Structure 1
Amino acid sequence: MRIAYSPCPNDTFVFDAWAHGRLIGAPALDVTFADIDITNGMAERGELDVLKVSYAVLPYVLDTYALLPCGGALGRGCGPLVLTSEPGVSLTGRRIAVPSERSTAYLLFRLWAAEQVPGGVGEIVVMPFDRIMPAVRSGEVDAGLVIHEARFTYRNYGLHRLADMGEHWESTTRLPIPLGAIIAKRSLGAERLRLLADAARRSVRAAWDDPEASRPYVRAHAQEMDPAVADQHIGLYVNEFTAGLGEDGYAAVRGLLTRAAAEGLVPALAPGALDFP
């Protein structure tokens, strides 16, 4: 089974047991590591069987892929941040770096900016997420939208938090923040899709039951990250919604994509598009 997910600690933690053949009855995985902007593009081109993608890309790919009800990343207090080199900077007409224009972070940012940035932002520059903070610090861009462990490390770059997209989302919706989704090709068939969902759920449970087992895999793919930051990353992004979206999780995904469609940021979802076979 060909799968792509990021080398970030939350993904390697979640998929460790499955990727290393420790789940009885689960299909073997052929893993490709790729940043979220790459996996979003893979999904739009219909590449690979299973992918970790941004929830924001779902309206473009749900004809080909089904959303698995587990394995992804939602949560509270874990939203993307807007960072600047000086506090209190106005973003009107400014140059902003983002990790992807198909990312959930970008949708949350555009919904926030529509309310909070009079006149709108200026140029949007897409760059790998690990380049964004250096670009803000150097003045290459005026602000950066950051994800992942950057919420723990941005002060190391001398940067300032201008706004928290998650705080804005949660205060206006009372719902968790939908970030990353696991999708699988519909052509695999309903039985196979259910098998994949079961494997993803069991892999999450196995990681929680024996967190030490995943440490070599996590560390191997996060070599430049402080182990304490990696643990914080996992603690924030792997939670009850990873084991199962549940009512609040599905409400969050529908809410985000419905609001984004109303703003013309994504196509509207077809009825039943999020339903799992």
Structure 2
Amino acid sequence: MKLSIGFSPCPNDTFIFDALIHHKIDTEGLTFEVFFDDVETLNQKAFRGELDITKLSFHAFAYVSEQYALLDSGSALGFGVGPLLICHQEHFTQNSGELSAGLKVGIPGRYTTANFLLGIAFPHLTNKQEMVFSEIENALLKDQIDLGLIIHENRFTYTEKGLHKIIDLGNYWEQQTGCAIPLGGIVANRKLDQETKEKVNRLIKKSVEFAFANPRSGLDFIRQHAQEMSEEVMYKHIELYVNKYSIELGTEGRKAIDTLFNMAREKELIPPVQHDIYLIP
């Protein structure tokens, strides 16, 4: 049985899925057609119900929980892994509380969790320009935008380009909630039968465990998609975003996700979620 699966080309995702899609583990009769896309493109594909299995942001998941169920494995949650709000003009860093409403912010997508966190911390920053996450740094350097909301490997490269951090929104979230920050999850289309969905969940867990046991096994695959990243930066990226929550959410992971959804509903940032969001109760 062949299933379509979408995830990002970032090192954390290629690290997680290498063993699965390259059959380094027993895939129990499943094969996968892979679509590599940035997170906002994956969000949009999920809105259209295009893929059987996909990575998406937890913010976007609130809008598609009727179509997709959250797997217990493969998610990206953690401490110290949140998006950063950065700038080119250093004077913006002097008092982040006085950022004026008219400033143009480059964001990696409307439905990213990064944008959701920006909305919580700076609700007045509404002048936003959506762009591919990897283009935000250059847009700042060209003064096409005033502020940039960066995710993924750009956390490790912005200072080398002369850019400056205003605030770590992950730290902001942690201070507000005490929870790990839920960034992205892996979901299965509800049209799949339950046995297949549970099999995929089981296989992703095995794929993550294989990657942890054999961390250099997927190096060529990871490097192939890593956008000229050094090996050191690739593995820093993996260490940040792949952890115990990627193996299984557990009680703490679910608490963080529930907190995110509850806060979003209270602020009327997402519609009410009508279904049990988890594949495994």
The normalised TM-score by structure 1 is 0.95
In 2, Cα distance between equivalents of 1:219 and 1:44: 30
Report the Cα distance in structure 1 between the residues aligned to 2:151 and 2:169, rounded to whole angstroms. Answer: 10
Q: 2:172 aligned with 1:168, yes or no? A: yes
Alignment RMSD (CA, Å): 1.2
| Counterpart in the other structure of 1:50 | 53
Say whether residues 1:270 and 2:279 are aligned partners: no
Query: 1:6 is matched with which residue?
Result: 8
Q: Could you say what secondary structure the match of 1:107 adopts?
A: helix
SS class of match (2:34): strand
Conserved? CA contact 1:73–1:178, under 8 Å: yes
* TM-score, reference length from structure 2: 0.94
Output aligned runs, 1:1-277, within 5 Å. 1-26=3-28, 27-89=30-92, 90-114=99-123, 120-270=124-274, 272-274=276-278, 276=280
**Structure-2 separation of matches of 1:135 and 1:223:** 17
- 1:8–1:91 distance in 2 versus 1, CA, 3 Å: farther
- Return the alpha-carbon distance in structure 2 between the equivalents of residues 223 and 84 of structure 1: 22
Give the number of aligned pairs: 272
Q: In the alignment, what sits opposite 1:117?
A: none
- Equivalent position SS for 1:213: coil
Percent sequence identity over matched residues? Answer: 37
Task: State the shift of 1:272 in Å.
Answer: 2.3
Is residue 66–residue 275 contact of structure 2 (8 Å, CA) maintained in 1? no
Alignment check: 8 A CA contact 1:51 1:184 kept: yes
Alignment gaps of 5+ in structure 1: 115-119
Deviation at 1:82, TM superposition (A): 0.1
Residue 151 of structure 1 and its aligned partner are, at CA, apart by 1.1
Distance in 2 (alpha carbons) for counterparts of 1:223 and 1:133: 14
Q: 1:247 to 1:88 in 2, by over 3 A?
A: farther
Cα distance between partner residues in 2 of 1:275 and 1:191: 11
Query: C-alpha displacement at 1:92, in angstroms?
Result: 2.6
Where does the alignment leave 5 or more consecutive residues of structure 2 unmatched? Answer: 93-98
Contact 2:65 2:275 in 1 (8 A): no
Mapped contact 1:257–1:268 kept (Cα < 8 A): no
Q: Distance in 1 between matches of 2:259 and 2:32?
A: 32
